[in-house]
C-alpha cells in the first residue's frame, strides 16, 4: 500500500499495553484519513453512551495521506474523540511538527484508551514507544512543558501537550503545540487530561511509502510557486486572518457584546491594521509558505500570536478595546490550553448573566483585570471559574429559560466569531456543522455577503454542501491546511492529483466528495447513536438570532426567520439524503457503503 503506512499505534494506558495494528486497506480508501479515520474508529470501537471523560473514551490523533509531507501547508493533525462539551463527535485540526514526525515514525494514527493512574507522557521514536512518568510536568503551562521536553529530547521532535485546563477537565480545553497552535475545540484537551497524559513526544526518521515521488515533488514545487504568485499573497503575509476584523465589522458580523450586535464602534482598536504596526514576528505551521501566526508584544511584555477568532472573541465580544490586552488573554489561553472561541463566548455569557442579575457575582463588560483572573480561575476550576469551565450550554441550563435565549452555541459547542442575525446561510452552516457551531466546515459568510444577503434559498444551501465537502470532507481527511485554497485561491485540482501521486490510486473530486459524504453521514449517525435519537431543532442556530434583532449598524432591526430557516434546513437534508428529522435514510446509508450503521440506528429511530 502507498500513501498510508497501514498501521495504527494503539496504547492502552490502563493495561500499559502497546500494540501496532494493521488496518484493512479498504478503510483508508473509504475514509482517507484524519477526520474520516477518526470517526470510523470511534463508531466501530466506542461503547455508546460512555462518559467522555472516563477511561472508556478514546483519544485519536490522526494524519492523512498528505499530512506531514513537504507539500503546501501540510503540517496538520486531526485530534478527535467523543466530546465532553457536546457529548457528540468532536475534533480539531492542529498545526504541529508532530504531524511531520508521526508520518516519519511509521503510523497513520494513534489511538489511546484507558487512563493512567499517575501523570504520564508518551514517547514515540519509530517503533520504540514508551509510557513515561510526567509528575514533574503536571501542573506546568503548555509553554513551559514544551520547553522542558525540548531540553530533554532536543528540537528535532514534534510535541502535543495540554495545560492546566486539560488537567482540570475544562470542557473546552484544547491540545497545544509549538507555543501557539491549538486544536480540539470540543474539549479534546480534557479527554487527554482525563487519561492523565500531559504530552506526546514524537520523533520519526522513516521514509513514508509514496507511489510516485517524482510526481509529488513536481506538484509540490508547482503549488508552492503558485501560492507565491497569488495577488493577495503580500496582504495575507502582512495581516493573515486578522484582516477579517475590519471585514466583519463592515459586513455586520463582528460578534459584539455576546453576539448582541454585528458592529462595534471600537473595532479599530483590535484591527489587522493596528496589528501590523505592532507586529514583531511571524510564525506558523510546518511546510507552509503562508505563515499566518502574527506575533505582537502583549500587555505583559511577552510575545503573543494572534488570529481573527481569538481577537474577536476576546475583544469585541466582551467589549475589550485594546489589542495588547486581548493578546495577553489569548496568550494566557494558549498557556493554559483553553479554547479562545468557547472562552470568549463563555465570558460574554457570564457578563450578560451578571448584567441581568442572573448570577450573584458582578462581572462588568470589558473589565480586563477581572477577566484575566477569571480566565485563570476557569482553567483551574476555582470559584466562578468552575462554572465558566462548563461552557455556555451547561451554564444556561442551570440558569434557566432567560439565559438559554442568550446562550450562543449549537449542540453545546460555542459559536465561532460570526454573528448571523443577518446571515441565514452562515447560520445554517453553524447549525449543520458536524461538531457543533464551528466555521471550519463551511465559511459560507464569505460568499453570502456577495449574494442576496437576506435570501433563504437553494443556491446558498448548494454552496454550503459544496463547502462542507471540500473543507470538512477533503481537507479534514487529507489533513492539510485549507487556507492556501480559501485565502489565496490555490487550484483545488492539486489535491486529487497529489492524492493520486501519493497513493497510486486514481482520485478525482467526485471520488473525494463521495468519501466526504460518507464521513458526514457517519458523523451524523454517531451523534444519533450517542443522543439516542434526533430532532431538527438540534440543527438550529442560537435562539438569540431568531429573537433579539440587531439594534446597531446598517442591518439594525434584522433577525432570522424561523420558518424560512426551516425551508433551507429541509433543502439541506434533502441534498444530504437525510429525512425531515435529519436522520440519514436507509438508501443513503446503503449508497455510501454504511450498511453496518443501519441495524444500529434502526433500534433508535424509525429509518426511512
Ligand atoms: C480552530 C479555532 C480557530 S480557527 C482559531 S483562530 W482561525 C482559534 N485559535 C486558537 C488559538 O490560537 N489558541 C487557543 N487557545 N484557542 C484557539 N481557538 C480557536 O481555534 C489554526 C488555523 C486557523 S486560525 C484556521 S481559521 C484554519 N483552520 C483549519 C482547520 O480547521 N482545518 C484545516 N484543514 N485547516 C485549517 N487551517 C487554519 O488553521 P480547531 P491551529 Mg486549530 C493560537 O484547532 O480545534 O480546529 O479550532 O489549529 O494550528 O492553531 O491552526 O481564524
Ligand atoms: Fe498554519 Fe497558517 Fe500556514 Fe495554515 S496558512 S498551515 S494555519 S501557518
pLDDT tens digits along 265-290: 999 999 999 999 999 999 999 999 99
**What was the pLDDT predicted at 504?**
98
Residue-wise pLDDT for 290-338, tens only, equals: 999 999 999 999 999 999 999 999 999 999 999 999 999 999 999 999 9
**What was the pLDDT predicted at 346?**
98
Judge contact between 163 and 338, C-beta under 8 A: yes
> What's the whole-number average pLDDT of the chain?
98
- Architecture in CATH for domain 421-489+508-608: Orthogonal Bundle (1.10)
Q: How far apart are CA 106 and CA 127, in angstroms?
A: 8
The model's confidence at residue 355, banded by pLDDT at 50, 70 and 90, is very high
Does residue 28's CB lie within 6 angstroms of at least one atom of ligand 1? no
Ligand 2 centroid to residue 494 C-alpha, Å? 17
**Beta partners for residue 574, in sequence order:** none
Ligand 2 centroid to residue 485 C-alpha, Å? 11
Task: From 594, 551, 496, select the one nearest 44 (Cα to Cα).
Answer: 594
**Span 198-224, mean pLDDT?**
98
In the chain, domain spans = 7-203, 234-417, 421-489+508-608
**What was the pLDDT predicted at 482?**
98
Ligand 2 centroid to residue 387 C-alpha, Å? 33
Does residue 40's CB lie within 6 angstroms of at least one atom of ligand 1? no
**Span 205-224, mean pLDDT?**
98
Ligand 1 centroid to residue 210 C-alpha, Å? 29
**What was the pLDDT predicted at 376?**
98
**What was the pLDDT predicted at 176?**
98
**What was the pLDDT predicted at 145?**
98
Q: How far apart are CA 352 and CA 346, in angstroms?
A: 10
Does residue 84's CB lie within 6 angstroms of at least one atom of ligand 1? no
The model's confidence at residue 89, banded by pLDDT at 50, 70 and 90, is very high
Task: From 283, 407, 280, select the one nearest 350 (Cα to Cα).
Answer: 407
The model's confidence at residue 343, banded by pLDDT at 50, 70 and 90, is very high
**Span 529-550, mean pLDDT?**
98
Q: How far is CA 31 from CA 28, 81, 100, 477, 588, in A?
A: 5, 16, 21, 7, 16
Ligand closest to CA 80: 1
Task: From 147, 157, 193, select the one nearest 174 (Cα to Cα).
Answer: 193
Judge contact between 254 and 519, C-beta under 8 A: no
**Span 146-171, mean pLDDT?**
98
421-489+508-608 shares the fold of 7-203: no
Domain 7-203 has CATH 3.60.9.10: yes
Ligand 1, atom 34: closest residue by C-alpha: 481
Does residue 308's CB lie within 6 angstroms of at least one atom of ligand 1? yes
The model's confidence at residue 539, banded by pLDDT at 50, 70 and 90, is very high
List ligand 2's pocket residues with C-beta within 6 A.
Answer: 73, 95, 284-285, 288, 290-293, 481, 483
Residue-wise pLDDT for 554-566, tens only, equals: 999 999 999 999 9
**What was the pLDDT predicted at 113?**
98
Residue-wise pLDDT for 7-27, tens only, equals: 999 999 999 999 999 999 999
> What's the fold here for domain 234-417?
1.10.569
Judge contact between 436 and 409, C-beta under 8 A: yes
Residue-wise pLDDT for 406-465, tens only, equals: 999 999 999 999 999 999 999 999 999 999 999 999 999 999 999 999 999 999 999 999
**What was the pLDDT predicted at 275?**
98
**Span 478-507, mean pLDDT?**
98
Ligand closest to CA 176: 1
Best of 483, 485, 486, 489 to mutate for ligand 2, by most ligand atoms within 8 A of CB?
483
**What was the pLDDT predicted at 328?**
98
Between the CA atoms of 553, 557, 563 and 568, what dihedral angle is there, to the nearest 10 degrees? -10
Percentage of residues of the chain with pLDDT beyond 90: 100
Amino acid at each position: 500500500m502507498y500513501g498510508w503506512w497501514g498501521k495504527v499505534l494503539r496504547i492502552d494506558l490502563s493495561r500499559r499495553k502497546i500494540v501496532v495494528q494493521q488496518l484493512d486497506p479498504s478503510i483508508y480508501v473509504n475514509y482517507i484519513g484524519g477526520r474520516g479515520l477518526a470517526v470510523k474508529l470511534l463508531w466501530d470501537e466506542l461503547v455508546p453512551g460512555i462518559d467522555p471523560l472516563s477511561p472508556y473514551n478514546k483519544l485519536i490523533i490522526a494524519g492523512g495521506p498528505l499530512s506531514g509531507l513537504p507539500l503546501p501547508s501540510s503540517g496538520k493533525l486531526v485530534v478527535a474523540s467523543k466530546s465532553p462539551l457536546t457529548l457528540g463527535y468532536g475534533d480539531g485540526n492542529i498545526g504541529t511538527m508532530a504531524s511531520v514526525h508521526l508520518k516519519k515514525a511509521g503510523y497513520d494514527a494513534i489511538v489511546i484508551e484507558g487512563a493512567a493512574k499517575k501523570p504520564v507522557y508518551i514517547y514515540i521514536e519509530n517503533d520504540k514507544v514508551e509510557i513515561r512518568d510526567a509528575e514533574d510536568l503536571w501542573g506546568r503551562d503548555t509553554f513551559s512543558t514544551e520547553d522542558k521536553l525540548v531540553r530533554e529530547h532536543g528540537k528535532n521532535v514534534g510535541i502535543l501537550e495540554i495545560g492546566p485546563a486539560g488537567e482540570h477537565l475544562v470542557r473546552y480545553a484544547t491540545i497545544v503545540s509549538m507555543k501557539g497552535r491549538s486544536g480540539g475545540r470540543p474539549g479534546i484537551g480534557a479527554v487527554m487530561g482525563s487519561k492523565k497524559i500531559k504530552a506526546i513526544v514524537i520523533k520519526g526518521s522513516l521514509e513514508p511509502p509514496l507511489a510516485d515521488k517524482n510526481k509529488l515533488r513536481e506538484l509540490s514545487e508547482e503549488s508552492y510557486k503558485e501560492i507565491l504568485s497569488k495577488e493577495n499573497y503580500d496582504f495575507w503575509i502582512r495581516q493573515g486572518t486578522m484582516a477579517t476584523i475590519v471585514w466583519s465589522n463592515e459586513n455586520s458580523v463582528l460578534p459584539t457584546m455576546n453576539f448582541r450586535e454585528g458592529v462595534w464602534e471600537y473595532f479599530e482598536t483590535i484591527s489587522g491594521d493596528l496589528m501590523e504596526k505592532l507586529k514583531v514576528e511571524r510564525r506558523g505551521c510546518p511546510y507552509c509558505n503562508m505563515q499566518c501566526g502574527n506575533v505582537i508584544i502583549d500587555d505583559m511584555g511577552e510575545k503573543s500570536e494572534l488570529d481573527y477568532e481569538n481577537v474577536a472573541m476576546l475583544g469585541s465580544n466582551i467589549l475589550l478595546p485594546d489589542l495588547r490586552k486581548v493578546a495577553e488573554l489569548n496568550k494566557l489561553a494558549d498557556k493554559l490550553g483553553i479554547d479562545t472561541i468557547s472562552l470568549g463566548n463563555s465570558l460574554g455569557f457570564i457578563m450578560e448573566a451578571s448584567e441581568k442579575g442572573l448570577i450573584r457575582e458582578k462581572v462588568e463588560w470589558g473589565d480586563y483585570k477581572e477577566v484575566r483572573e477569571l480566565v485563570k480561575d476557569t482553567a483551574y476550576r476555582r470559584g466562578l471559574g468552575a462554572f465558566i469551565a462548563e461552557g455556555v450550554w451547561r451554564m444556561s441550563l442551570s440558569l434557566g429559560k432567560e439565559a438559554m435565549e442568550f446562550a450562543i452555541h449549537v449542540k453545546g459547542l460555542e459559536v465561532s466569531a460570526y454573528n448571523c442575525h443577518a446571515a441565514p446561510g452562515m447560520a445554517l452552516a453553524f447549525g449543520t456543522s458536524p461538531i457543533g457551531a464551528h466555521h471550519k466546515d463551511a465559511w459560507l459568510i464569505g460568499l453570502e455577503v456577495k449574494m442576496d444577503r437576506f435570501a433563504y434559498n437553494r443556491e446558498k444551501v448548494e454552496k454550503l454542501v459544496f463547502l462542507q465537502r471540500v473543507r470538512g470532507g477533503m481537507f479534514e481527511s487529507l489533513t492539510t491546511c485549507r487556507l492556501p485554497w480559501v485565502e489565496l485561491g490555490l487550484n483545488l485540482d492539486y489535491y486529487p492529483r497529489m492524492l493520486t501521486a501519493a497513493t497510486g490510486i486514481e482520485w478525482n473530486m467526485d471520488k473525494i466528495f463521495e468519501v466526504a459524504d460518507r464521513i458526514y453521514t457517519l458523523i451524523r449517525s454517531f451523534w444519533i447513536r450517542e443522543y439516542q435519537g434526533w430532532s431538527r431543532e438540534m440543527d438550529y442556530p442560537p435562539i438569540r438570532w431568531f429573537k433579539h434583532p440587531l439594534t446597531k449598524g446598517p442591518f439594525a432591526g434584522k433577525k432570522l426567520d424561523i420558518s424560512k430557516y426551516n425551508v433551507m434546513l429541509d433543502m439541506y437534508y434533502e441534498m444530504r439524503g437525510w429525512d425531515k428529522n435529519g436522520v440519514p435514510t436507509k438508501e443513503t446509508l446503503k449508497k455510501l457503503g454504511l450498511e453496518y450503521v443501519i441495524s444500529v440506528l434502526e433500534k433508535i429511530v424509525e429509518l426511512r
